[in-house]
Amino acid sequence: MTKRFISAMAAYAFLALLAGLTLDNAVLHLNGFTVDLRVAVWLLLGAFALKTYIAHKAGW
């Protein structure tokens, strides 16, 4: 594993930790749906981490 990949994953983990600690009761109401912003941020960061992992494995 490269140093760049490890630092990117550490940055994603740090951002997820910050989201978990700061977005306690943050909700968003959209067309009758209630969205927990903490979960939304975690899903977004997870998608970015997966994209980074796939790019790393492909050798980009």
For residue 41, what are its two tokens?
A: 């941020």
Residue 59: per-residue pLDDT: 87
Domain ranges of the chain: 3-58
Residue 45: per-residue pLDDT: 97
Residue 57: per-residue pLDDT: 94
User: Mean pLDDT per 10-residue run, the chain (60 residues)?
Assistant: 93 96 89 91 97 94
**8 Å CB contact between 12 and 52:** yes
Compute CA 48 distance to the chain's CA centroid, rounded to the nearest angstrom. Answer: 6
Q: What is the pTM of this model?
A: 0.84
Q: Is 59 left (phi over 0), alpha (psi -120 to 50) or beta?
A: left
